Every structure is written in C-alpha cells, then in structure tokens.
Chains A and B, each alone.
Chain A
C-alpha cells in the first residue's frame, strides 16, 4: 500500500525556512581552567596525573579515564612534543579554498595520553612524522585563555 498522491514535479514542492536562534558560551571546566591559566601565565602545558595508576593525560581531566580515580596532581610537561600525524588542508570549514594549504597536525608528548591538534608551521621539505615540534605562543598580553593562545607549532 502506498500514499494515494505523489508529486512528480519538483518545482511544485514548497518549503518553509527557519532557524534555531541560539549561541553558546562554554565554560572551560575545572581541568580546562587549570590548563589554560597555566598556559597564559607560565608558558607551560599541564597534564593530569593519576595518583592510582600513574596515567598522564593531556588535555588534563579531573578524573582518570582508565581507573576513574579523581585527579589530585597536575604536572607541567613543557611545550615540546612529537608530530604524530599531519594533513594538508586546502579548504576551510566553510568550503573556501586557502591561498596555500594549511598544515594541521596532532602533537603528542612523551609518556602522556592524548595530544594537541593544532596548526603546524614547518617548511614542506622538513615536515616529517616523529619530528620534534614546539608551541609558539602569543605575547602574554594578547592571550585570553583559549586554544588560539598558541599561534602554531614549529620545528625545534
């Protein structure tokens, strides 16, 4: 059985336009605050360290994902990590083509779970998985507690 009518001429199809008129303000959270405040003030990445199983995690959490213990310790891990993977992006998120491709990479830190995804500024011929890269930060007075306080990662 099927419906008794159908529309075969798509120009007869009507539609109604609307939107969901909301915007969002996300708090950084307890662990997020510790991470971004430390980055703003002390030029350092912070990882959470589980006092039960020893797992370190970046971005830090208030709990250990492995054993669910509450985190009591946050440890500095510097600004230098290893390039774990990367990609050349030709279009931005709205589908507009970049003048030259952007390199986006995942940076990991020794002995730490997780990592940071960010822009990578390295000469194309030097770009290599496993290379050491460090975060270049904005001048202190321009930081506002977000991921853009990091300009990019570059070769060290």
Chain B
C-alpha cells in the first residue's frame, strides 16, 4: 500500500472569491452567570481586594475563588484576601489582534502575563496584562503590583485592575 496521490487540490484566493458560496452571520450572544464563587471574587475586585479560596485538606490558597477544590474534590473552606502584588511567571508581547489583523505601529502592544500572586500558594497564577512598562524591560521574575481603577469606576470585573506594573 502506498499513499502517493491524494485527492483535493484546494482553491486559490482568486478561485475562492469567484466560487459559489453561501454566507451566514450568526448572532452568537451570551450572558454567562458568574456563579457564587466567581461572584465573590468579582465583589472583592470591586472593593479593591484579590480574594482566594482556602482548602483545609490540601492547605492550598487558590485563585480565582472556587466553590470546590479540584484536587481534593470537596467544597472549599472560605476565602481570604491575598496581596495585590505578584511575580511574573511568564509573559508575551503581542502584535496581533485575535482576527490575525496587525496592531498599528503606534498602538500600544498587549503584554499578557501569568502572575503568581503573593500570599496565595506557590504557583497560583492568574492571567492579566502588564502596563506602564517598556516591553523590552519586562522580565520573568519581575515584581508587579495591581493598578486599580478609581473606586467609582469599578464594576466588579477583572478589568477593575487596569493592569499590573513593576514596583
């Protein structure tokens, strides 16, 4: 048995433009419930606090808040506020939007990062973005601190932290 010739040849961009096609633009809109645990997490953010869940069995302090410990598979035992500082575990400097379109030269680059939060168990990171920093100077292990929106502008969203900046 040999596989030397395979079917299908694909369309060039031109052929694709000309090909008969049917278009559909669905309206896929959702309202996702926060649920109880994340609801508390968001309420904490509104109050300028980063909340973490505790599990008394494994002793972990976990972010974000969750109803159950996924390792012990039992309900968590309450929340505590951890620091709004942390350490950059990893980061990227992104030059493209999700649709593969490119950011314009003068647009600020997105700098997503995984930040291990101080006061939570080791390795408990959250994804956020870095700001107020020269992208070329970002380093793994850098200490960063949350920059909060003014109280009046907070709505109970992860965006209530505008970004993390070095301190």
- Which residues does A use to contact B, with CB under 8 Å? 1-7, 12-28, 32-33, 36-37, 144-146
Contacts and interface: CB of A to CB of B under 8 A. Distances in A.
Given A5-B36, A6-B36, A17 B30 contact: yes
B108 interface: no
Contacts, number: 84
Contacts of B74: 1
14 contacts: A14-B33, A14-B39, A16-B34, A17-B30, A19-B29, A19-B30, A23-B25, A24-B23, A25-B21, A26-B22, A27-B21, A28-B21, A146-B20, A146-B22
A22 B100 CA distance: 13
A15 B21 contact: no
Nearest to B21: A25
Interface string B77-103: 110000000000000000000000000
B1 interface: no
B33 A13 contact: yes
Q: Which A-B residue pairs are the 10 nearest by beta carbons?
A: A145-B20, A23-B25, A20-B28, A14-B34, A15-B31, A19-B29, A24-B24, A26-B22, A28-B20, A25-B21
A1 B77 CA distance: 13
Interface string B51-62: 000000000000
B20 A36 contact: yes
